[in-house]
Structure formats: C-alpha cells, structure tokens
Amino acid sequence: MSAPTEETLFPTTGEPVATIARRGRVGLWLMIVADVAGTIALLISYTYLWSLNVNGGWAPPGARVPFTESNTGPQKADATWAAEWPFWVILLLVLLSTVAMWWSYKAVKAGFEAAAVTGAVLSTLLMVAALIAQWIQITTFPFGPSDGAYGSAVILLCASNLFHMLLVLFLLIGIVNRTRKGLISQDVNYQSQAVSYYMTWVVVAVLLGALVTTFFVESPNTDPAVFGTFETGAKSAPEAPPSPSATPSSSPSASPSPSAS
C-alpha cells in the first residue's frame, strides 16, 4: 500500500492529474448523454410499435391472434415470444461485473493495488460471460428479425447490449493491463472511476431493456387496423399486396391476406 505523494502531473500537458480527472469526468458524462439518447431512441421504437400493433403485426406469427395469421408470408409460422429469464440473467452478469469494477476502483483508491487487479480481472471475466450469454440469447431466439415488429425490436435491443458489452470489454482489458503495470494507482485512478461510471450506465441500459421486454410483451392494442379491412378500402376493389418482384430490395414481401383477396 503506497501513500499519496506530492501532486502528480500529467506527462503530456504538465497539468495536475486532478485537473485531467475532472475534465475526463465531464467528457464522460457528456458522452453518456449521447448514449442515453441513442438508447432512448431504441426504447421509443420498441414501445411505440408495441402500443400501435400496426396491422396486427407486433407479435411473432406463432403468437398472433387469428385475424393476422395471414401475415405469415416469409416469416416463421411457429415463431413466438422470447423467454424472459435470459434478459435478467444477462442483467445480473453485467451488474456483478460492474460491482466488481467498483470494488476494483475503491481498492486502488485505498492503495490496495493487487486487490484492484483482482477486481478488474473478475469484472472482465463476468463481462465476457455476459457477452457470451447475450450472443447465445440472440442466436437462439424463437424468432428472426423479420418475424414481426416484436422480433425486430427485441433483437436490436439485444444488439445494443452487445455493442455496450464489447465497448466495456475493451475498456476493462485496458484497466486490467494498466492497473497491473501500475499506471492506475492510488494517485492516478480516474480512469478506473470513469469506467465504473460508464458501466453503471450500461447496467441501467440493460435494465431498461429487460424491463420493456418483460412487461411490454403483448400489445395493449387488441383491435388494430388491419390492411385490407379499412372501411374505404373494403368498398373499392382491393389490390393485392406488393409482389416480391415489385420490391426486390424491400423488407419481407407478403402473401395475399384473405381480407384483401
């Protein structure tokens, strides 16, 4: 355990490390603002489509009520909702990883550098486990990205988690290496603090994802407008949905729905 020495200076600018640390914290919080906005965009997308249930297409085809069963098209007919528990297991792993990182930061701040390395390594291992779990979840969903808006939204939320985890993993490897080399120490530990803060935000982001995918599953809109059954459309001669050849580069084409044929 080393005692704090005289004011440590940053090698490239000659400024006190405390000044650099303050600057780093401000920058980090601002970067988190941008990240929060992006995550909100995804959550808005999820909840917006969940609330509208456009054309009865929110649920995966296998979980739909009968009036939309025609919209299976290229989708998997047996696709259904995702299990909820994996979201929470992944959250737990990310949370434990973050706790370990905070422990590492507190340890290095108190001068226990060996404990700090242990905490950072533990945090890294837990994040790797979370990353693998997230990957397994994405690849084993009972639906694909085309299987309704729910499928698309859930997969993108998980992809966002995956991106966060990869970023954190990169940071953690750096923290382990730097702590081991003594570059993060009792005097200079703002990088550990910054990573701990960022990981705390990642926990919040994963938590928000787990909450919406657990509690906002079946759409509250049980009587959505369905294409081909609008009153004005029903009076005039309905057109068949676009054929695959008409929109070769668009998203899934449709098979004709009974109401439109």
Partner 1 sequence: MSTATTTVRGVEQVTQPPQHGKPGGIMRHLNLGTGLLTGIVFAVGAGWIVAALTPSSATTPTFAPAEPEYVYLAGLIGWVIGFMLGMGAFIGPLRWMMGRDLTHDDAEYMAGKDLGVKRYFKFTTDHKVVGVQYLVVTLVIFGFGGTLAMLIRTELGVTWSEVFSPEFYNSLIGTHGIAMIIAMIIAVSGPLGNFIVPMMIGARDMAYPRLNALSLWLLVAAAVCLISSMFVGGMQDGWSAYQPLGSQAPPGMLGYQLTIIVFAISTAIASVNLMTTILTMRAKGMTWSRTPIFVYGIFASSLMGLYAFPFYQYSQILALTDRVWGTVFFNPLYGGSVWLYENLFWLLGHPEVYVIIIPTAAVTLELMPVFLRKPLFSYNFAIAGIVGVVALSGLVWAHHMYMTGWAPAVNYPFMLSTEMISIPVGFLVLVAIGTFWRGTVWTRLPLMAVYALVFNKMIGGVTGIYLSDVPADQYFHGSMFVVAHFHYMLMGAGLFGAMGGIAFYFPKMTGRILDERIGSIGLWTAFVGFQLTFGSMFVAGLQGMPRRVLQFDEQFNISNWISTIGAYIIGLGMLIFLAAIIFSWTSGVRASGNPWGSKSLEWQTAQPVPLENFEVLPVVTERPYNYGVPDPYDEELAAEDGDRVEKVGAS
2, 140, 222, 251: which one binds partner 1 (CB under 8 A): 251
Helices (H), 140-259: 148-180, 190-215, 231-235
For residue 236, with 0-12 CB atoms within 10 Å meaning exposed, 13-18 middle and 19 or more buried, which class applies?
exposed
Tell me how far, at minimum, the Cβ of 58 lies from partner 1, in Å.
5
CA dihedral 163, 169, 170, 176 (to 10 degrees): 170
Instruction: Say whether residue 152 binds partner 1 (CB under 8 A).
Output: yes
**Smaller CB distance to partner 1: residue 95 or 194?**
194
Amino acid (one-letter) located at 68: T
Could you say which residues in the range 49-78 bind partner 1, by CB under 8 A?
49, 52-59, 71, 73-75
**Smaller CB distance to partner 1: residue 86 or 241?**
241
- Specify the DSSP element, H or E, that contains 48: helix 17-52
Could you say which residues in the range 168-197 bind partner 1, by CB under 8 A?
170, 173-174, 177-178, 180-183
The CB density around residue 18, as the number of other CB atoms within 10 Å, is: 14
Amino acid (one-letter) located at 204: V
**Smaller CB distance to partner 1: residue 209 or 241?**
241
Instruction: Say whether residue 167 binds partner 1 (CB under 8 A).
Output: no
Could you say which residues in the range 204-243 bind partner 1, by CB under 8 A?
227, 241
Tell me how far, at minimum, the Cβ of 83 lies from partner 1, in Å.
20
3-state secondary structure 85-115: HHHHHHHHHHHHHHHHHHHHHHHHHCCCHHH
Give residue 178's Cα distance to chain centre.
Answer: 28
Q: Which stretch binds partner 1 (CB under 8 A): 20-28, 104-112, 122-130, 230-238?
A: 20-28
**Smaller CB distance to partner 1: residue 44 or 234?**
44
Cα–Cα nearest to 151, from 40, 258, 242, 74 = 74
Residues across the chain: 261
Q: How far apart are CA 210 and CA 220, in angstroms?
A: 19
Instruction: Say whether residue 111 binds partner 1 (CB under 8 A).
Output: no
96, 117, 120, 153: which one binds partner 1 (CB under 8 A): 153
**Smaller CB distance to partner 1: residue 85 or 170?**
170
Residues forming contacts to partner 1 in the complex (CB under 8 A) are 8-14, 19, 22-23, 26-27, 30-31, 33-35, 37-38, 40-42, 44-45, 48-49, 52-59, 71, 73-75, 144-146, 148-153, 155-156, 170, 173-174, 177-178, 180-183, 227, 241, 244-245, 247-254
